[in-house]
A and B are shown apart, each in its own frame.
Chain A
Amino acid sequence: MKKLIFLNLFFLSLSSVILAADTNTNIKKMQLALDKNNPESVEEIYDNNEEDLSKNWMALERLALSFERRNKFKEAVNVYRKLVSPFNLAAHKAIIDSNAQKVPENLYSGNKLPYYYYKLAFLNAQLFATSHKFVPETERTKFKKNAEGYLLLLKKVNADENDLKLVNDLILEKIKVEDQMAYKKSWYVLFDFISWQDRVYLVDNVTGTKSPLLSTAIGSSIGLGKKWSNAKYEFNIEGMYSMATSTISNIADGPTYQQSSVPVKSIILGPGMYYKAFSDKVFVGLQLPVSIRTGSWLAPDGYSLQDLKQTGAGYFFQVKFAVSGIFIQTRLGKIFPNPASHWSIGALYDF
């Protein structure tokens, strides 16, 4: 009986030694794989020996690093959490339960909790910072809260200010970017100088012959618009009323006709967009106007004028830049069926 007990004890201790030797060998292999920048092998070694290696903090640390190197932050977080609890549960609990701003050093000087807290704070902050619109809101909130929670613990264990700032900056930067990408509504008024050319036809009432006339208008506009903008784009819907005077004459064969200082009015409505590709003060974009134009040209006796009222649609290429709280905007484009370009230069004010 005694012999049996002795043999059992002998083989138990022998197997423990063998096991420990195997574990150490595997840890060395994991480290070697990390040194050779082969993180997949680290995970493989761990998976093949999980039962033993999961009880060893050195193996778990290497596993966590291998996940980090492959940007597998969630997996790394899970491993570091294991390293905190159950491996350092008592000290961790004591730190959490303490109300002191800085806990006694003996709670963390003999373990690696500050290091694990930093990793958990940093990785959660990374997860939050790299989250996108397809990541559920609950998960994104969880990452942020976890990062903030571990930051608090880091403060308690007197962590380096730079480390705290790094993590905090990651979180704040993400919040800032999200805020910038959210669309905000506002209104604006505009005033500009505008010019365009119209085609009007002089019709001989007897023969029905149509002679083309060209009218060149220049005037000013006032307008109102609503826009939705974020850090990159701006979308708007705008209405503008223009009052101009024109000179009209024939430019081809036909009866001589000329009239000047003729009032012309137009209403232009339409959506547009701007792209803030280059800076937050310079915008380049496109507007898609629809216009209704009326002109008070007079027809001589025996003639009538066609297209006194006209609707049209077209496009403007537009540029605006911010100067001292207002925007200077220029537009160049075309409204069909007008024969020539439509341009304007003006100022916008947001409110």
Chain B
Amino acid sequence: MISKMSLICLLSFSSLSFASDITVKMTLSPAGSFEAKTTKVHGDVIKSGEKYTAESLWVKVDDLKTGIDLRDEHFHKHFNSEKNPKITLNNVVATAGKGSGTLTVNNVSNKVDFTYKVISDKKLEALLKVKPSAFKLPEVKYLEIGVDDEVEIVTVVDVK
């Protein structure tokens, strides 16, 4: 009984494994850059023929880390993580290297397009560029160093 349950459990939870990750790349002004990363990506990407879909992919803002504690604090506060703890990408449809979905950040939703490449049978890497201002995120400046109004998001997701 137990071993049968264990086998079923293992098969059932392949979609919740820890192999996905997301990197948000930001450019500083006048120079420099930094990244915010997490491996805690939630949601399933389903493959059907040559089409990939996902009902909802999301990350918790507080899980995104930049490497410097103070910068993490500023980053999470900037995204209003207390009121809007998640960044979600819903209704994802992708085929032939391109896709789209609805990105919700700071409780503001916008349709976004992205490109992707197949890394293996079980993995995809997607790339999208977004403007934080389109999500009503204020301009960022800390001690005269600002962040450009275009960020690049790269995510590697598991495919079911």
Contacts and interface: CB of A to CB of B under 8 A. Distances in A.
Given A149-B2, A149-B5, A165-B42, A155 B12 contact: yes
Contacts of B6: 144-145, 148-149
Interface residues of A, number: 17
A93 to B, nearest CB: 12
A169 interface: yes
Contact of A145 (B2, B17, B42): B2
B142 interface: no
Contacts of A165: 16, 42
B49 to A, nearest CB: 24
Contacts, number: 37
A151 B9 contact: yes
A152 B11 CA distance: 10
B18 interface: yes
A238 to B, nearest CB: 34
Contact of B13 (A144, A145, A168, A173): A168
Identify whether the interface residues of A are mostly helix, strand, loop, or mixed.
helix
Nearest to A101: B12
A256 to B, nearest CB: 60
Contacts of A164: 13, 16
Contact of B10 (A148, A169, A173, A176): A148
B126 to A, nearest CB: 21
A168 B12 CA distance: 11
Interface string A162-199: 00110011001100100000000000000000000000
B143 interface: no
B120 interface: no
A144 B18 CA distance: 17
B16 A168 contact: yes
B13 A151 contact: yes
B31 interface: no
Given A144-B6, A151-B9, A152-B8, 7 more contacts: A145-B3, A145-B6, A149-B6, A149-B9, A168-B16, A169-B16, A169-B18
5 closest A-B pairs by beta carbon, nearest first, are: A148-B9, A149-B5, A148-B6, A168-B16, A152-B5
Interface of A: 96, 144-146, 148-149, 151-152, 155, 161, 164-165, 168-169, 172-173, 176
